Structure 1
Amino acid sequence: MRIIGAEELRGLLPWPALEAALERMFRDGCSAPLRHRHALPQPAAPEGMLLLMPAWTAAHTGVKLVHVLPGNGARGLPAVQAVYMLSDGATGVPLALLDGGELTDRRTAAASTLAGRFLARPDSSRLLVLGAGRVAAALAEAWCARFPIRRAAIWARNPAQAEALAQRLRAHGLPAEAAATPDPRGFDIVSCATLSESPLLRGAEVGAGTHVDLVGAFRPAMRESDGALLARATLVVDTRAGGLAEAGDVVQAIAEGAIEASHVAADMAELCRGAHPGRRREEEVTVFKSVGWAGEDLAAAVLAFAGTP
Structure 2
Amino acid sequence: MQTLQPSIHLCDPTLKPCLDYMQDYASLPDFQYTEEFYDKAKMLWEDEGVQECYGRANEYQLIDSAEYFLDRIDEIREEDYVPSNQDILRSRKITTGVLQTSFEVNNVHFQMLDVGGQRDERKKWIQCFSDVTALIFVVACSSFDLVLREDQNKNRLQESLELYERLWKNRFLRSTSVILFLNKQDILAQKVSKGTSLLSHYYADYEHFEPPETIEPPEGWCCFSTKRKRAEQRRRESMFPALNISESKEFFKAKSFIKAKFQDLSVCDEKEHHFIKHCYSHFTIAVNSENISIVFDSCKDMIQRLHLTKAGIIR
TM-score norm. by structure 1 comes to 0.32
1 or 2, which has the higher strand percentage?
1
Rg comparison, structure with higher value: 2
TM-score norm. by structure 2 comes to 0.31
1 or 2, which has the higher helix percentage?
2
The structure with higher relative contact order (CA 8 Å, sep 6+) is 1
